[in-house]
Structure 1
Amino acid sequence: MEITEYNPEWVESYLTEREHIMAALHDICLGMEHIGSTAVPGLGAKSLIDMMAGVSDLQVVQREHIDSLSVLGYEYMHKPDFPERLFFRKGQWRAGTHHLHVYKYQGEAWEDQLRFRNALRHDPRLMQTYDRLKRELAQQFRHDRVGYTSAKASFIQSVIQSAGL
């Protein structure tokens, strides 16, 4: 796992994928956002574009939507431990290029993603603190993505809680 310097091309990659995903989900998608570290100018990140699409209810995502995303290279990954979202990966396992998270539009999980991203975008010191944390954890958990993600969780939750006040 490697944290690289911010790359403005990440935005272009998101915009390209957004257009294709919105077309594939045209009848159910209520909104789409670039999330994760690649959505925060100046923040180092794994070179992996995280996006979220919002739908009225996860039940509206049908087989034909999953098939349309598959044509674009997105594989549906069943994640029963995360019932608040549907998850799709583009690229190889552990070497994906894009992640698509489908949430209930404007639901709690959707809003938490935006709170965290926006807090980092609007507070340079907070963004720098998160950047240092990510780089330290990437060294500590070089071959353990689950451990890396778990180790960031308390920081992320504290930012979301502060932003929600």
Structure 2
Amino acid sequence: MLSDYQDRWVEDFEAIKSVITSANRGLEIEAEHIGSTAIPGLSAKPIIDIDLIYAKEEDFNIIKANLESIGYFHNGDQGIASREVFKRNNGASHPVLDVIKHHLYVCHQDSEELKKHLIFRDKLRSDQALTKQYGKLKQRLAAKANQDHKLYAQLKESEGSEFFKSAMNQKEKE
């Protein structure tokens, strides 16, 4: 379930980013590598998490159409406001997008969920002790889940949320 940190995850992100930004050429967008694979030294499920960020509200439908043209489908916000999920179509075939496992989220630049992703990523990148602590939590949860991916996700959602809140409270005190 969890893998030791892999340097190639940065290269994987860059490869996906290149394809996605090329498909959206001419739009004011950015792509951010988020999640555990974006934190050097942190164990993670080997799935690259990406936030594609746009500035103009009217660009969302253009981005959606562009992503559909390269084999994605819009899967709604999956219960998390201001974070739109895009998944690969079954049967799509792309030498990068269908080889590197990834999750793609499209967020407006003012999205609260985007802000949380970036703050948490940046906090972990800048605080080795916190990264180690989070890594231990993830390992404990993975052992508790015993290779059950859904149970791991549920445990991480509940206990990881508490960890996130604690880390953010610590940031506010600094």
TM-score (ref. length: structure 2): 0.79
Q: Distance in 1 between matches of 2:28 and 2:135?
A: 31
**What residue identity is the alignment partner of 1:85?**
R
Q: Which runs of 5+ in 2 are unaligned?
A: 91-99
| Range with bigger deviation, 97-106 or 83-92 | 83-92
Query: Is 1:3–1:47's contact at 8 Å kept on the other side of the alignment?
Result: yes
Q: Distance in 1 between matches of 2:153 and 2:57?
A: 25
Please give the root-mean-square deviation of Cα atoms over the aligned residues, in Å.
2.3
Q: Report the equivalent of 1:121.
A: 125
Q: Report the equivalent of 1:14.
A: 13
Q: Report the equivalent of 2:164.
A: 156
**What residue identity is the alignment partner of 1:48?**
I
| Cα deviation, residue 100, structure 1 | 1.1
Please give the residue correspondences for 1:2-151 in structure 2 after superposition, counting only pairs within 5 Å. 2-57=1-56, 60-62=59-61, 64-90=62-88, 97-141=101-145, 142-143=147-148, 144=150, 145-151=152-158
- Runs (4+) of structure 1 exceeding 4 A deviation are none
TM-score (ref. length: structure 1): 0.83
May I ask how many residue pairs the two structures share in their alignment?
A: 160
Q: Distance in 1 between matches of 2:89 and 2:43?
A: 21
Decide which structure has the larger Cα Rg and report it: 2
| Cα deviation, residue 164, structure 1 | 4.9
**What residue identity is the alignment partner of 1:79?**
D
| Cα deviation, residue 81, structure 1 | 1.3
Query: Is 1:4–1:45's contact at 8 Å kept on the other side of the alignment?
Result: yes
| Cα deviation, residue 155, structure 1 | 0.8
| Cα deviation, residue 114, structure 1 | 1.2
Q: Distance in 1 between matches of 2:41 and 2:78?
A: 34
| Range with bigger deviation, 16-25 or 100-109 | 100-109
| Cα deviation, residue 111, structure 1 | 2.1
Structure 1 72/158 Cα, relative in aligned 2: closer, same or farther at 3 Å?
Answer: farther
Identity among equivalent positions (%) equals 28
Hey, which of these two has a bigger chunk of strand by percent? 1
